[in-house]
Protein backbone atom coordinates (compact mmCIF):
# COMPACT_ATOMS: atom_id res chain seq x y z
CA UNK A 1 0.00 0.00 0.00
CA UNK A 2 2.88 2.38 0.88
CA UNK A 3 4.60 1.78 -2.45
CA UNK A 4 1.33 2.30 -4.35
CA UNK A 5 0.81 5.63 -2.53
CA UNK A 6 4.30 6.86 -3.47
CA UNK A 7 3.78 5.92 -7.12
CA UNK A 8 0.44 7.73 -7.16
CA UNK A 9 2.00 10.92 -5.71
CA UNK A 10 4.80 10.86 -8.31
CA UNK A 11 2.26 10.60 -11.13
CA UNK A 12 0.20 13.49 -9.74
CA UNK A 13 3.34 15.63 -9.29
CA UNK A 14 4.53 14.92 -12.84
CA UNK A 15 1.17 16.11 -14.19
CA UNK A 16 0.78 19.13 -11.92
CA UNK A 17 4.24 20.69 -12.36
CA UNK A 18 4.11 21.02 -16.19
CA UNK A 19 0.55 22.36 -15.88
CA UNK A 20 1.73 25.07 -13.49
CA UNK A 21 4.62 25.93 -15.79
CA UNK A 22 2.27 26.24 -18.76
CA UNK A 23 -0.06 28.46 -16.73
CA UNK A 24 2.84 30.72 -15.76
CA UNK A 25 3.90 30.96 -19.42
CA UNK A 26 0.36 31.89 -20.43
CA UNK A 27 0.14 34.53 -17.70
CA UNK A 28 3.54 35.94 -18.70
CA UNK A 29 2.42 36.12 -22.34
CA UNK A 30 -0.78 37.91 -21.31
CA UNK A 31 1.20 40.38 -19.19
CA UNK A 32 3.61 41.02 -22.05
CA UNK A 33 0.69 41.57 -24.40
CA UNK A 34 -0.88 44.03 -21.98
CA UNK A 35 2.40 45.95 -21.75
CA UNK A 36 2.49 46.20 -25.55
CA UNK A 37 -1.05 47.55 -25.58
CA UNK A 38 -0.36 50.31 -23.05
CA UNK A 39 2.97 51.33 -24.64
CA UNK A 40 3.08 55.08 -25.34
CA UNK A 41 1.62 55.80 -28.81
CA UNK A 42 3.68 57.83 -31.28
CA UNK A 43 2.75 61.52 -31.23
CA UNK A 44 3.08 63.99 -34.11
CA UNK A 45 5.79 65.92 -32.27
CA UNK A 46 7.93 62.79 -31.87
CA UNK A 47 9.15 63.14 -35.47
CA UNK A 48 10.34 66.72 -34.80
CA UNK A 49 13.88 66.93 -33.44
CA UNK A 50 16.40 69.38 -32.01
CA UNK A 51 19.74 68.75 -33.77
CA UNK A 52 23.30 69.09 -32.49
CA UNK A 53 26.01 69.38 -35.15
CA UNK A 54 29.57 68.19 -34.47
CA UNK A 55 31.88 70.56 -36.34
CA UNK A 56 35.59 71.33 -36.61
CA UNK A 57 35.05 74.14 -34.11
CA UNK A 58 32.90 72.32 -31.54
CA UNK A 59 29.27 71.31 -31.14
CA UNK A 60 26.53 73.60 -32.42
CA UNK A 61 22.94 73.14 -31.23
CA UNK A 62 20.57 75.24 -33.29
CA UNK A 63 17.32 75.07 -35.22
CA UNK A 64 14.89 72.22 -35.77
CA UNK A 65 14.83 69.14 -38.00
CA UNK A 66 12.22 66.51 -38.81
CA UNK A 67 11.91 63.00 -40.24
CA UNK A 68 10.23 62.39 -43.60
CA UNK A 69 9.72 59.33 -45.76
CA UNK A 70 9.28 59.20 -49.53
CA UNK A 71 6.75 56.84 -51.13
CA UNK A 72 8.82 56.63 -54.32
CA UNK A 73 11.80 54.86 -52.75
CA UNK A 74 10.86 54.27 -49.11
CA UNK A 75 13.83 56.40 -48.04
CA UNK A 76 13.86 58.22 -44.70
CA UNK A 77 15.58 61.60 -44.39
CA UNK A 78 16.35 63.99 -41.56
CA UNK A 79 15.42 67.35 -43.10
CA UNK A 80 16.15 70.92 -42.06
CA UNK A 81 16.93 74.33 -43.59
CA UNK A 82 20.27 75.07 -45.23
CA UNK A 83 20.11 78.48 -43.51
CA UNK A 84 21.23 76.81 -40.27
CA UNK A 85 24.73 76.49 -41.68
CA UNK A 86 25.55 80.17 -41.78
CA UNK A 87 25.09 83.42 -39.90
CA UNK A 88 21.41 82.77 -39.17
CA UNK A 89 22.52 79.65 -37.34
CA UNK A 90 25.14 81.57 -35.38
CA UNK A 91 28.14 80.52 -37.50
CA UNK A 92 30.91 82.85 -38.62
CA UNK A 93 30.22 82.42 -42.34
CA UNK A 94 27.87 80.80 -44.85
CA UNK A 95 28.73 77.22 -45.80
CA UNK A 96 27.96 75.88 -49.26
CA UNK A 97 26.00 72.69 -49.90
CA UNK A 98 29.14 70.77 -50.94
CA UNK A 99 31.02 71.76 -47.76
CA UNK A 100 28.59 70.33 -45.22
CA UNK A 101 29.86 66.74 -45.17
CA UNK A 102 33.42 67.99 -44.61
CA UNK A 103 32.68 70.61 -41.96
CA UNK A 104 30.00 68.69 -40.01
CA UNK A 105 31.18 65.20 -39.13
CA UNK A 106 28.13 64.01 -37.23
CA UNK A 107 24.57 65.00 -36.37
CA UNK A 108 22.65 63.80 -33.34
CA UNK A 109 19.06 64.88 -32.84
CA UNK A 110 16.63 64.28 -30.00
CA UNK A 111 12.84 64.11 -30.31
CA UNK A 112 10.99 67.07 -28.79
CA UNK A 113 7.98 64.88 -28.02
CA UNK A 114 9.85 61.88 -26.64
CA UNK A 115 13.24 62.91 -25.17
CA UNK A 116 14.21 59.25 -24.75
CA UNK A 117 14.42 58.93 -28.55
CA UNK A 118 17.44 60.10 -30.55
CA UNK A 119 19.00 59.60 -33.97
CA UNK A 120 22.63 59.90 -35.05
CA UNK A 121 23.82 60.15 -38.63
CA UNK A 122 26.72 61.41 -40.70
CA UNK A 123 25.32 60.39 -44.10
CA UNK A 124 24.76 63.72 -45.84
CA UNK A 125 22.57 63.94 -48.91
CA UNK A 126 24.30 66.30 -51.33
CA UNK A 127 21.65 68.78 -52.52
CA UNK A 128 23.18 70.73 -55.44
CA UNK A 129 22.75 74.51 -55.34
CA UNK A 130 21.12 74.48 -51.89
CA UNK A 131 21.57 77.87 -50.24
CA UNK A 132 19.97 80.17 -47.64
CA UNK A 133 16.68 81.78 -48.56
CA UNK A 134 16.69 85.20 -50.18
CA UNK A 135 13.89 87.37 -48.82
CA UNK A 136 10.83 85.88 -50.55
CA UNK A 137 12.60 83.03 -52.33
CA UNK A 138 13.17 79.97 -50.14
CA UNK A 139 13.13 77.39 -52.92
CA UNK A 140 16.81 76.42 -52.48
CA UNK A 141 16.83 76.43 -48.68
CA UNK A 142 16.94 72.75 -47.70
CA UNK A 143 19.46 70.29 -46.24
CA UNK A 144 19.10 66.60 -45.44
CA UNK A 145 20.82 63.50 -44.11
CA UNK A 146 19.98 59.85 -44.75
CA UNK A 147 18.33 57.71 -42.07
CA UNK A 148 17.80 53.93 -42.17
CA UNK A 149 14.41 54.19 -40.40
CA UNK A 150 12.33 56.53 -38.26
CA UNK A 151 13.58 54.72 -35.12
CA UNK A 152 10.12 54.49 -33.61
CA UNK A 153 9.52 58.23 -33.74
CA UNK A 154 7.18 58.23 -36.71
CA UNK A 155 7.64 60.39 -39.79
CA UNK A 156 6.01 63.00 -41.98
CA UNK A 157 5.22 63.19 -45.67
CA UNK A 158 5.66 66.25 -47.86
CA UNK A 159 2.48 67.68 -49.34
CA UNK A 160 2.48 67.65 -53.13
CA UNK A 161 0.22 70.71 -53.31
CA UNK A 162 0.48 74.28 -52.06
CA UNK A 163 -1.72 75.49 -49.20
CA UNK A 164 -4.64 77.81 -49.84
CA UNK A 165 -4.62 81.48 -48.85
CA UNK A 166 -6.24 81.77 -45.43
CA UNK A 167 -5.55 78.14 -44.52
CA UNK A 168 -4.45 77.51 -40.95
CA UNK A 169 -1.08 75.83 -40.51
CA UNK A 170 1.09 74.96 -37.52
CA UNK A 171 4.84 75.33 -37.13
CA UNK A 172 6.24 72.60 -34.89
CA UNK A 173 9.29 73.16 -32.72
CA UNK A 174 10.37 73.52 -29.12
CA UNK A 175 11.13 76.96 -27.74
CA UNK A 176 13.79 77.49 -25.04
CA UNK A 177 11.39 78.67 -22.32
CA UNK A 178 8.22 76.88 -23.47
CA UNK A 179 9.22 73.24 -23.42
CA UNK A 180 5.68 71.83 -23.36
CA UNK A 181 4.29 73.83 -26.29
CA UNK A 182 5.11 72.31 -29.67
CA UNK A 183 2.54 73.82 -32.06
CA UNK A 184 2.44 77.47 -33.11
CA UNK A 185 -0.55 78.51 -35.19
CA UNK A 186 -0.31 80.64 -38.33
CA UNK A 187 -2.46 81.66 -41.29
CA UNK A 188 -1.22 81.43 -44.89
CA UNK A 189 -0.85 84.84 -46.55
CA UNK A 190 0.72 83.84 -49.88
CA UNK A 191 1.95 80.70 -51.58
CA UNK A 192 3.82 79.91 -54.78
CA UNK A 193 6.65 77.61 -55.86
CA UNK A 194 9.32 79.92 -54.44
CA UNK A 195 7.96 80.65 -50.97
CA UNK A 196 5.05 80.35 -48.59
CA UNK A 197 4.26 83.24 -46.25
CA UNK A 198 2.25 82.83 -43.05
CA UNK A 199 1.44 85.17 -40.18
CA UNK A 200 1.71 83.82 -36.64
CA UNK A 201 -0.85 84.40 -33.92
CA UNK A 202 2.08 84.29 -31.46
CA UNK A 203 4.53 87.15 -32.06
CA UNK A 204 7.19 85.87 -29.64
CA UNK A 205 9.05 83.13 -31.46
CA UNK A 206 12.80 82.59 -31.30
CA UNK A 207 14.31 82.88 -34.82
CA UNK A 208 17.09 80.38 -34.09
CA UNK A 209 14.72 77.72 -32.78
CA UNK A 210 12.29 77.79 -35.71
CA UNK A 211 14.85 77.54 -38.53
CA UNK A 212 14.26 74.24 -40.31
CA UNK A 213 11.00 73.51 -38.48
CA UNK A 214 8.16 71.77 -40.34
CA UNK A 215 5.00 73.74 -41.07
CA UNK A 216 2.04 71.33 -41.05
CA UNK A 217 -1.55 71.39 -42.26
CA UNK A 218 -4.56 69.92 -40.45
CA UNK A 219 -3.68 66.43 -41.78
CA UNK A 220 -0.12 66.73 -40.37
CA UNK A 221 1.44 66.87 -43.83
CA UNK A 222 4.46 69.12 -44.25
CA UNK A 223 3.48 72.24 -46.20
CA UNK A 224 6.79 74.08 -45.83
CA UNK A 225 10.22 74.11 -44.20
CA UNK A 226 10.48 77.29 -42.15
CA UNK A 227 13.47 79.33 -43.34
CA UNK A 228 13.02 82.84 -41.90
CA UNK A 229 11.02 85.14 -39.64
CA UNK A 230 10.22 88.75 -40.49
CA UNK A 231 8.74 91.33 -38.10
CA UNK A 232 6.30 93.53 -40.00
CA UNK A 233 3.65 95.95 -38.67
CA UNK A 234 3.77 94.38 -35.19
CA UNK A 235 3.20 90.98 -36.76
CA UNK A 236 5.55 88.03 -37.16
CA UNK A 237 5.69 86.63 -40.69
CA UNK A 238 7.17 83.22 -41.40
CA UNK A 239 8.77 82.38 -44.74
CA UNK A 240 9.03 78.76 -45.81
CA UNK A 241 10.37 76.58 -48.60
CA UNK A 242 7.19 75.11 -50.18
CA UNK A 243 6.84 71.37 -49.62
CA UNK A 244 6.28 70.47 -53.32
CA UNK A 245 9.46 72.37 -54.25
CA UNK A 246 11.57 70.88 -51.45
CA UNK A 247 10.20 67.41 -52.16
CA UNK A 248 11.19 67.48 -55.83
CA UNK A 249 14.61 68.91 -55.02
CA UNK A 250 15.33 66.12 -52.52
CA UNK A 251 14.05 63.40 -54.86
CA UNK A 252 16.29 64.75 -57.62
CA UNK A 253 19.27 64.80 -55.24
CA UNK A 254 18.66 61.18 -54.19
CA UNK A 255 18.45 60.09 -57.83
CA UNK A 256 21.90 61.51 -58.71
Q: Which range has the worst mean pLDDT, 37-41, 117-121, 182-186, 201-205?
A: 37-41
The tens digit of pLDDT for each residue in 7-25 reads 444 444 444 445 545 555 5
List the Cα angle 234/184/77 in 5-degree steps.
125
48 with 153, same domain: the answer is yes
Q: What residue numbers bound the domain in which 230 lies?
A: 168-246
Residues 190 and 148 in one domain: no
Within a domain: 219: yes
Q: What is the mean pLDDT of residues 118-138?
A: 94
127-166 as b/e, with b when 16 or more CB fall inside 10 Å? beebbbbeeebbbbbbbbbebeebbebbbbebbeebbeee
pLDDT digits (tens, 9 = 90+) for 168-225: 999 999 988 766 789 999 999 999 999 999 999 876 888 889 999 999 999 999 999 9
172 and 235 both lie in a single domain = yes
DSSP string, 19-72: HHHHHHHHHHHHHHHHHHHTSPPPPGGGGEEEEEEEETTEEEE-S-EEEEE-TT
In CATH, what number is assigned to the domain containing residue 209?
2.40.10.10
Q: What is the CATH number of the domain that holds 138?
A: 2.40.10
The answer to whether residue 191 is domain-embedded is yes
- Domain end marker among 104, 131, 157: 157
Residue 19 maps to a domain: no
- Domain match, 151 and 221 both: no
Q: Does residue 24 form part of some domain?
A: no
Asked if 152 and 202 sit in the same domain, the reply is: no
Q: Count the domains in the chain.
A: 2
- What is the pTM (predicted TM-score) of this model? 0.83
Residue 6 has pLDDT above 90, yes or no: no
Amino acid sequence: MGILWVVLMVVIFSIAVPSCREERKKNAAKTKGQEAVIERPIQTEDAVLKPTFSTDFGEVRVGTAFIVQFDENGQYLLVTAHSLFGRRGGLSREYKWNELSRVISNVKAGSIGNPAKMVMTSAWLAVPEAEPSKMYDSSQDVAALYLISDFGMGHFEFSETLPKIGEEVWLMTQMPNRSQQFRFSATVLAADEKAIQYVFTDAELDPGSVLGAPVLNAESKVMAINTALIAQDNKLIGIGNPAPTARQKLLKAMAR
